[in-house]
Structure 1
Amino acid sequence: MTGSTAEQGFVPGNGEPDITIRESRVYRGPNFWSYEQSVHLVVDIGRLEQRPTDTLPGFTETLVDLLPGLKDHQCSRGRDGGFVERLVEGTWAGHVVEHVALELQRTAGHEITRGKTRSTGEDGVYNVIYGYLDDTVGTLSGRLAVRLINHLIPDNDLADEFDFSAEHDDFLRTCQRVAFGPSTQAILDEAIARDIPWQRLNSGSLVQLGYGVNQQRIRATMTSLTSSLAVDIASDKELTNRLLAAAGLPVPASEVVRRADDAVRIARRIGYPVVVKPLDGNHGRGVAINLQDEAAVRAAFDEAYDQSRRGYVLVESYIAGKDYRVLVIGGQMTAIAERVPAHVIGDGVKSVAALVEATNADPRRGVGHEKVLTRIEVTDAAIELVREQGYEMSDVPPRGEMVKLALTGNMSTGGISIDRTFEAHPDNIDIAEEAARVVGLDIAGIDFLCPDITQPVRETGGAICEVNAAPGFRMHTHPTIGDPQYVAKPVVDLMFPPGSNARIPIVAVTGTNGKTTCSRMIGHIFKSMGRKVGMTSTDGVVIDDRLVIRSDASGPRSARMVLQNPRVDFAVFEVARGGILREGLGYPRNDVAVVLNVAPDHLGLRGIDTVEQLAQVKQVIVEAVPKSGSAVLNADDPLVAGMRRACSGEVVWFSTEPDNRMISDHCRRGGKAVILERSDLGELIVLVHGRRRMPLAYTHLVPATFGGKAMFNVQNAMAAAAAAYCAGAHLGDIRGGLRSFTPSYYSAPGRMNLTEVRGVKVIVDYCHNAPAMVALGAFVDRFFEDSASWERPQRIGVIATAGDRRDQDMIDLGLEAAKHFDRIIVREDERLRGRAPGETAGLIVQGAKEAQAQGGRVKQIEVVLDEIEATKVAVEWANPGDLVLVCVDRARAVWDELQTVAKRAQAGSADADD
């Protein structure tokens, strides 16, 4: 990979970026490229395709200097330094983007190592895939990686300025802004360790733990179990004090005021020193302690008043002693921390200002809650406090001298914490636990002031100065001194007691055809069992048999909506190819995966050009099956059968073919399958589990099969039965569900809906591709099997397909339809999807005429582009006893039109009788 610029055919840059991002996607869950959530960039490296990294002078050295963490990347070598070796030997820019994006995330504290780079097949264009923890951070890291690499290309001077240090700082600030606080993150880490799923519900700290009916929510350290009344009480410090005092707990004397004069009057009555603070403040803002005179009280009142949301200020007696925070969760003391106000310790050399700067240089300190400690902010109040201790900021305090820069020990103002969990006196623990119970908080931070927590406060003169709702965990999980306490565990125990379930069963259904019907069958079985089923499909989102959103809802966003619904205790997701390619599954795993079939459809879209690639996309739901789950696979489809190798759980087969050797061997080893047995009484759906053979239903008794004639719905029923059995349904429930599910417009709109208009049987279906037409044509052929030979009913088909299909797909649809219908009316969808009017119909007609020339059944082919008009023409052509099959785009409009025509016919008949 060496050579000069001329040898490589390399043209110097012209100020344009070498690497451009053509497309960016965020996968939220398992996807085509990875088992985990990932960012996918399609990058064009342009002229760099002819110039790997070993031909770029100084590139590797500069890149590693800017991001030294790249030295730890193993890449394909399996050892630290492997990626740098690849850079030296020569690798391509797309691969570099992947590793730089991962390393940028690591600088933000997101340890991610998953990534891959693959060619798209187009010269110089690559798929770059890498993992992420936060989608915003993941996306920004990819963009910054591309900008950085572009500016490191040695012979390309870009017009715009690029300061990596400044850009990296902006990146880190954004990461900090979108990151969870330490308390929320601690709870999430505990939930993840217990395999409890979670979803972020807003840009802040509102998070859902668990799914559906088993969900709980948190916002920081408030939970679904936290009483809003208790929070209100804790926010009212005067009311809290009165309640605690009434319970016999030690509290300081206090009174609420709204004017400075009243504050001075109360301070005199209570006796100096006093504390002045906002009645409903938090994080120690506006709190002034140890006030010795009237002037100090007046000054403190103004600041407390500004920090009070309702304009009330609390004046209370000052309790001397150390500041302790007792964390009580579920009525039990969990952790205790001593809080030391922001301060510096003199060394006899540095000034106070220099000592503050040196303290803030501690890598553990950051802005706000971004790190375990907060930087000390030198405010006017801090300067005045230093002055009261006899120093200016420029003075040098003696070695060992402690200079305070804040009066309160809050970590948000730069304080530190010392763990005292195992040192507290039992009486003090009892007082704290009782205080949490009196206020009614499930998670409470009890602020103690006392000389020594190891001694009973009733004897040493200490008191509870505050009870806090939503207390921060940072001082306990990351104490400055002492051992960290795992305080998130009892929080998660409160929401999910041992033995409880945070998940709900999830069944995912995919395939080229039949997904919606199979999904509805599964949902119907469990609805009949009394379950609250949440379902997504191309019809919309259905919650407990109610359509709540009408749209194509077969993607990941709709799945997440169902999992967020607090009524749902069972989920059935129709999973389409488009959603997987666009965003992944949207959830990490499904308990049961059903793959019905894989046939040519949607090819040529989003990089999927072959049916084998399409099978890989649909295989994602099989890969998302855990070891405890099941994959229900069609043994009659070779592409589906091959997915068994990707399943971590058990494989359950279904097949309509008799004497399938693979299935018989599978069941002999104790496996499960649903098969079709033929007998004199008809075809019988049988569930086989090892040696057990359990009859479910004769196909002609399952309404959706139209007396056993619709074999595609026989397959759907078999797959639904297998999925229901794997998900825990009893045989009786499965039998009852299959026998009571009808393909009516109201239960399954657009899926083999049969109606009668003027004696003509009309079926409405979403059939839109050649494989579906093959199955539908077989049904049409069998539909008239029972008709007398002299009856010769005609078959009329209204057909169409989407404009974004390949030309050959459209021709094939016409070819197949012409084999089964006497008359064909070709229409077009309302959305042409990039085609000119009449173009799609013309290709279908071309295929139908080719079949007609080869002796196909069709006798007449017409083009009526409007869907409603085409339906009207088809019904007008038909005579009583004929069959009209309308392949619809807008099922509701077509169905309404058919009912209108039927009513008019009935009304006309009634008038004639009169």
Structure 2
Amino acid sequence: MIINRVRYLKGPNYFAYTPTICIELDLEELEEKPSDTISGFNEKLLNALPNLGNHTCSKGYRGGFAERLRQGTWMAHILEHMAIELQNMAGIDVIRGKTVMMEKKGHYQVTFEYQEPEAGLQAFLAAKEIAEAILKGEKEVHVQSYVKKIEDLYYKNKLGPSTEAIFMAAQKKNIPVERIGEDSLLRLGTGSRQKYVQATISSQTSSIAVENACDKSLTKSILKGCGLPVPEGAIAHSIEEIFDAADRLGFPLVIKPYNGRQGQGVITHIKNKDELFNVINCLEAYVEKFIVERHIEGHDYRLLIVNGELLATSLRLPPYVIGNGKETIRRLIEKENRNSLRGNGHEKPMSKIPLTHTVTCYLEKTNRTLGSIPKQGELVQVAGNANLSTGGKAIDVTEQVHPTIKKMAVAAAKAIGLDIAGIDFICEDISMPLDHSRTAIIEVNAAPGIRMHHYPSEGKKRDVGKAIIDYLFPSREDAAIPIIAVTGTNGKTTTTRMIHYFLSNDKTMVGMTNSDGVYIGEEIVDQGDCSGPISAGMVLAHPEVDVAVLETARGGILREGLAFRQCNVGIITNVSEDHLGCDGMDTMEDLVKLKRLIAEVVMDTGYCILNADDPKVAQMGAYTDGEVIYTSTDPSQPLVKEAIKGGQKVWFVNEQGMILHSSDSVTQPFMECTEIPITISGMARHNIANLLQALAAAHTQGISLDELRKKAVTFMPDTNLSKGRFNLKKLNERTIIIDYAHNEAGLKAIFETVSAYNRKHLITVLAGPGDRVDEELIRLAKAAAIHSDLFIIKEDDDLRGRKPFEVAELLQEAAVEAGLHKDRTRIVLNELDAFVNAWEASRPGDLLLFFYTDFEYVEKFFQKVSSNRLSAQ
């Protein structure tokens, strides 16, 4: 078996709405060996991965996959299920998968859900190795070693529990969320409404407040100045100063690094000078300053404040082990660390107890070492603090907190200036009123961990992640700018450009992606074909964009999925044969399903704008949660009549060429097609169709009909507003039309439009994209040949796997077969040379159609003409 290609489809995609790995796999000789023909394979596989027997598969019931194995299924399908199961065994909750046969025999697209890409790919590689080991007849397959590797990768790369809780809460509330980089930075929301969260520090958090919280001495000073309880203490720069502070403060004491974090290096409850002597040599040598404080007797609590409200409180217990009279403290800690709830760092609900300097120091305080053997049943505390990061436990006590303590915690957060804060507090009983003489605020934490509240060792879980999201964004509308997504076979770019133009004004910054660039307002920030998810991501991430208008082409969806989980407006222009045979899109049904994705991701409060004149598009209304708006250039369209009768929103053209808008069964005229430049005096039916959808989209965003009328008459089909889409130039008594049409349907639309033009001869310059199947290229050539007096055939700079002249000669043969004499065809491979050849062959009164691939060649051609270096006969 050979892996030919791996794709990570991060957004909604052809196969699923969740992140999906797509692997193109060549089964080689195994294509001839379904599972029922491989002796002993099924039994060994189910023995190695017993839970595969519970997979439902397409059967829809438990045990369905095992039944498929017995009946005979192919190895690609088996690997799909194995990759899902191996992830499940590693603690990764995934369920979806699908295996699709490709056009080439033995080649498959194996797709399955993932949560973390490296772990997901490793699951497939492990599945492949396990299957190959079984096929080779190896007696033992150590599945757990594979599972451990997947698990390690998952926890190494995934978000920490605090950040993950916020991430999941955002998704649950339908707030766009994206991890930035490899650490804990999240971008929440889109465009001008976006905010950031780093761990639990938000865009709203004051940097001064964070600085205050990080300076422990300053924190104490601020709190003390507000009358809030803090322990007596002093700053020490040396061992001598530590002993001097101890003499002044008295015992018991706490010593901690001045700039410490997560409880590291903290030594508590030092009861006398002997214990102080025992621990003094354990202090971290690199620490320049220490805080020495009076130890306050009581329990250690963490109170979590968000936006001035106490949301959760945990009783934190230091890590401990219980002796059995036989094993050392080291051995007891190692056994406890194998608890499935404990992990490295913050990866699991509890952290492993660190076998570090901090533990040995604490044990030395009571003359113990890691080699000491506690008595049977003896409880031995192994660290002086109760931080989860040092192995502590947390018990939820939120409902026990006395109102006076709640008030104190809120005041402490406000005093430091934090919107999200963790207040570390010591007292005997948190359910009793605040007693300043017997309690103390130990620390005020910026970026407090919320793992303990989501995964307490005991007590009720508190959804702090949701509270943080609710604080940052009361609703989705506060977080997400409107997204208008445009897909289809033809007309996407023109429709997208018109919507951008209709929505733009002094108060609204519109971001746009299309097939020639990324635009922020009128500024182009990237050039080239920018109709994929990376370009869409640029617009959605730009902090000044108020509305996103995104051309969404098939290639980007297939490569990475969508850049958004949902859109406010989804537009499907049309669906016709194009790119069939590429990337697994072998049939029209495949293409329809792919384009339909935009309809499927429209929000239930959004709009799905469908071309009612295309039956394949019109049927997509059954797949959307949004309100369907139909558009039509056919006044006799039954679907439109029915929609108007039912009170739906409709944009259509009547027999007289008037554009009408209907809503709530009230129909009113908009404008005559002939008055709108983009319709080319009403002749360009395809542009009328694009215009209707653009008008419908802009109107859903609150643009009035009067404003749309003003915009419609000023949108010109020129190189400024609609570059490369039916741009018309008149030179030396010739008419030149430049367009990007590159499939049969697009070509026919252009020839239909120019059929009303007066001309002597029609000269067409055209190339056939090399990644199209021969049948599609032949239809393209015949469409051109039927309408042309001279057909000049060029080739793209990128041959897309074809040989030079291969496509050009195929087009020439098809043109001749369609009835155009061979003398009326020419092959001129270079695009610029082809345009020049057409110009030189033209006469006054001729019409030249330049179907370009690279607009730069169009610009160079006109530069030559304007500099008089070219002469027409």
Normalised TM-score (structure 1): 0.89
- C-alpha distance 303-752 of structure 1, shift in aligned 2 (>3 A): farther
The residue aligned with 1:867 is: 831
Query: 281-290 vs 167-176, which deviates more?
Result: 281-290
Give the AA of the match of 1:182.
P
Does structure 1 residue 777 correspond to structure 2 residue 751?
Answer: yes
Query: Residues 617-656 of structure 1: matches in 2 within 5 Å?
Result: 617-656=594-633
Q: Structure 1 residue runs of 4+, over 6 Å off?
A: none
Does structure 1 residue 218 correspond to structure 2 residue 182?
Answer: no
- C-alpha distance 453-148 of structure 1, shift in aligned 2 (>3 A): same
- C-alpha distance 484-624 of structure 1, shift in aligned 2 (>3 A): closer
Instruction: Specify the SS of the correspondent of 1:810.
Output: helix
Query: 329-338 vs 403-412, which deviates more?
Result: 329-338
- C-alpha distance 529-613 of structure 1, shift in aligned 2 (>3 A): farther
Alpha-carbon distance in structure 2 between the residues aligned to 1:61 and 1:391: 54
The residue aligned with 2:776 is: 809
Deviation, 1:547, is 1.2
The residue aligned with 1:423 is: 400
Give the AA of the match of 1:546.
E
- C-alpha distance 461-668 of structure 1, shift in aligned 2 (>3 A): same
Does structure 1 residue 761 correspond to structure 2 residue 735?
Answer: yes
- C-alpha distance 263-754 of structure 1, shift in aligned 2 (>3 A): farther
CA contact (8 A) 1:341 1:404 kept: yes
Alpha-carbon distance in structure 2 between the residues aligned to 1:499 and 1:867: 48
Alpha-carbon distance in structure 2 between the residues aligned to 1:367 and 1:355: 17
- C-alpha distance 648-436 of structure 1, shift in aligned 2 (>3 A): closer
Deviation, 1:435, is 1.1
The residue aligned with 2:260 is: 281
Deviation string for 1:91-136 (max 9, x for gaps)? 4333321221111222233322222333335544433222223333
Alpha-carbon distance in structure 1 between the residues aligned to 2:603 and 2:210: 41
Deviation, 1:706, is 1.9
Deviation, 1:614, is 2.4
The residue aligned with 2:225 is: 246
Deviation, 1:882, is 4.0
Does structure 1 residue 712 correspond to structure 2 residue 686?
Answer: yes
Give the AA of the match of 1:281.
G
Deviation, 1:68, is 3.7
The residue aligned with 1:171 is: 150
Q: How many residues align?
A: 870
Deviation, 1:191, is 2.1
Alpha-carbon distance in structure 2 between the residues aligned to 1:213 and 1:616: 33
The residue aligned with 2:10 is: 28
1:375 alignment partner, one of 352, 356, 360: 352
CA contact (8 A) 1:386 1:403 kept: no
- C-alpha distance 596-497 of structure 1, shift in aligned 2 (>3 A): closer
Instruction: Specify the SS of the correspondent of 1:763.
Output: strand
- C-alpha distance 190-614 of structure 1, shift in aligned 2 (>3 A): closer
Instruction: Specify the SS of the correspondent of 1:472.
Output: coil
The residue aligned with 2:850 is: 886
Query: Residues 677-826 of structure 1: matches in 2 within 5 Å?
Result: 677-679=654-656, 683-784=657-758, 793-826=760-793
Give the AA of the match of 2:158.
A
Does structure 1 residue 832 correspond to structure 2 residue 799?
Answer: yes
Give the AA of the match of 2:866.
A
1:189 alignment partner, one of 152, 163, 168: 168
Alpha-carbon distance in structure 1 between the residues aligned to 2:102 and 2:160: 39
Instruction: Specify the SS of the correspondent of 2:737.
Output: strand
Deviation string for 1:419-453 (max 9, x for gaps)? 22222333322222111111111111111123333
Alpha-carbon distance in structure 2 between the residues aligned to 1:558 and 1:586: 9
Instruction: Specify the SS of the correspondent of 1:241.
Output: helix
2:83 alignment partner, one of 78, 87, 101: 101
Query: 35-44 vs 104-113, which deviates more?
Result: 35-44
Query: 723-732 vs 411-420, which deviates more?
Result: 723-732
Does structure 1 residue 198 correspond to structure 2 residue 177?
Answer: yes
Instruction: Specify the SS of the correspondent of 1:109.
Output: coil
- C-alpha distance 609-100 of structure 1, shift in aligned 2 (>3 A): closer
The residue aligned with 1:366 is: 343
Give the AA of the match of 2:833.
E
Instruction: Specify the SS of the correspondent of 2:616.
Output: helix
Instruction: Specify the SS of the correspondent of 2:636.
Output: coil
Instruction: Specify the SS of the correspondent of 2:755.
Output: helix
Deviation string for 1:624-650 (max 9, x for gaps)? 234433332222223323433433434
Query: 451-460 vs 883-892, which deviates more?
Result: 451-460
Deviation, 1:736, is 2.6
Alpha-carbon distance in structure 1 between the residues aligned to 2:142 and 2:137: 18
Deviation string for 1:732-790 (max 9, x for gaps)? 23323322211221222211223344454332221223322211112222233xxxxxx
Does structure 1 residue 336 correspond to structure 2 residue 313?
Answer: yes
Query: 27-36 vs 767-776, which deviates more?
Result: 27-36
Instruction: Specify the SS of the correspondent of 1:783.
Output: coil
Deviation, 1:220, is 1.6
Instruction: Specify the SS of the correspondent of 2:769.
Output: coil
Stretches of structure 1 lacking an aligned partner (at least 5 in a row): 1-18, 785-791, 909-914
Does structure 1 residue 451 correspond to structure 2 residue 428?
Answer: yes
The residue aligned with 1:462 is: 439
Deviation, 1:341, is 1.2
- C-alpha distance 70-834 of structure 1, shift in aligned 2 (>3 A): closer
- C-alpha distance 83-827 of structure 1, shift in aligned 2 (>3 A): closer
Alpha-carbon distance in structure 1 between the residues aligned to 2:429 and 2:704: 63
CA contact (8 A) 1:326 1:446 kept: yes
Stretches of structure 2 lacking an aligned partner (at least 5 in a row): none
Deviation, 1:415, is 0.9
Deviation, 1:165, is 2.6
CA contact (8 A) 2:173 2:476 kept: no
The residue aligned with 1:902 is: 866
- C-alpha distance 122-289 of structure 1, shift in aligned 2 (>3 A): same
Alpha-carbon distance in structure 2 between the residues aligned to 1:540 and 1:470: 39
The residue aligned with 1:12 is: none
Deviation, 1:235, is 1.0
- C-alpha distance 103-651 of structure 1, shift in aligned 2 (>3 A): same
- C-alpha distance 894-250 of structure 1, shift in aligned 2 (>3 A): same
- C-alpha distance 75-842 of structure 1, shift in aligned 2 (>3 A): closer
Alpha-carbon distance in structure 2 between the residues aligned to 1:448 and 1:723: 55
Does structure 1 residue 657 correspond to structure 2 residue 624?
Answer: no
Does structure 1 residue 152 correspond to structure 2 residue 129?
Answer: no
- C-alpha distance 92-812 of structure 1, shift in aligned 2 (>3 A): closer
- C-alpha distance 646-430 of structure 1, shift in aligned 2 (>3 A): closer
CA contact (8 A) 2:786 2:820 kept: no
Deviation string for 1:567-620 (max 9, x for gaps)? 222222212121222222232222322222222222221222333432232222
Query: Residues 109-120 of structure 1: matches in 2 within 5 Å?
Result: 109-120=91-102
Normalised TM-score (structure 2): 0.93
- C-alpha distance 897-78 of structure 1, shift in aligned 2 (>3 A): closer
Alpha-carbon distance in structure 2 between the residues aligned to 1:236 and 1:183: 23
Deviation string for 1:876-902 (max 9, x for gaps)? 444555433322122134225414532
CA contact (8 A) 1:27 1:586 kept: no
Does structure 1 residue 670 correspond to structure 2 residue 647?
Answer: yes
Query: 598-607 vs 396-405, which deviates more?
Result: 396-405
The residue aligned with 1:844 is: 811
Deviation, 1:249, is 1.6
Alpha-carbon distance in structure 2 between the residues aligned to 1:602 and 1:57: 42
Alpha-carbon distance in structure 2 between the residues aligned to 1:418 and 1:74: 39
Alpha-carbon distance in structure 1 between the residues aligned to 2:393 and 2:543: 41
The residue aligned with 1:504 is: 481
Alpha-carbon distance in structure 2 between the residues aligned to 1:63 and 1:830: 50
- C-alpha distance 280-744 of structure 1, shift in aligned 2 (>3 A): farther
Instruction: Give identity over the alignment, percent.
Output: 38
